Amino acid sequence: MWKEIQGSKNWHDRLEPLCPLLREEIIRYGEFVSACYKACDLDTSSKRYSSCKHGKKNMFKEVGMEDCGYIITKYIYATTDISIPAKGGAWIGYIAVSSDKETKRLGRKDILVSFRGTVTSREWMANFMSSLSPARLDPNNPLPEVQVESGFLSLYTSVDSSSKFSQKSCREQVLSEMSRIINDEYKKGEMSITLAGHSMGSSLALLLGYDLAELGLNYEVPITVYSFGGPRVGNIGFKKRCEELGVKVLRVVNVNDPVTKLPGVFLNENLRVFGYENIELPWSRACYAHVGVELALNFFKMKNPAFVHDLEAYLGLLKFPKKKEKVIKKKTFRGRTAKEDNFVGSAWKSLLTLQNIDSWPWHDAARQVGNLVQSLGI
């Protein structure tokens, strides 16, 4: 049954109503993503800002997940080629494998890669780079029609020689470790590859899933992406190629979350012209498209706009689907101590810091994008 829960049948008849076992798995993988935020130093005044506060052996214990059943094998760092005065490589996630006990419970060895969302100034800038670029991740099969958002691609493939953590790109770090684990575990028993992320992290998870499948490094081991509040990553060509390669994606989406509607506000998979939706139009390659199956949630908080994108709010609604929204809000925002700097606060601090630098050429463009999103009511 685990294969169906991981999307072997595209979650047919599992979403409406939501299968209890699938709900548990979505929450479980969401907690692994939440661990990225809890373990990351989000204090912008700290010398270790954007680094992990704990070692690999103790990280799960320190964030309250000691009995999660996974062992971390590698930390992941990412940077971008954007030239702004900011720290280089930042800790963005980790790779873990299920323990023998957890493997027995799950029915397979699970290789997990978890990514957090946007925190640093460079990452915010990458989010605003909404132009499409050919992915070209397989040198032997360039596929120019497969295009992805340039900012996400930069975070995935860039190196920073000045940083000891990012002298290899995020891509190189992950593919090397994944190849090692798969080669060690392949043919020992059934396996799964699970990639999970929130916001920008979900984009990196999808890029990784596509990359593994395109290069054939997964050896036909099923790849599943759990995306929480994820934006569009690539064009229609990218979507079609992911489907051809068998990459399964479950998109957990708050219908009021504007991030899930970007990029591609106008040119996207919903574009219909004169009813010829099945015809390849001249601008089809420029259309962004979501990949996978959507699980829609619905929550909103007028006084805290960032609430609609908060991962803890997503998980709160999944954990307590019959609770009133007011209860979820209270749990999400009042349950944290003043000392704990959560993602929402840190992210908005970073964005406000960027917005105060009026001399930067992208400042007005970013502000206009924000005004556009607001005016469209999305």
Active site positions, annotated: 199, 257, 309
Rg (CA), the chain: 20
Token pair 């299968």: residue: 19
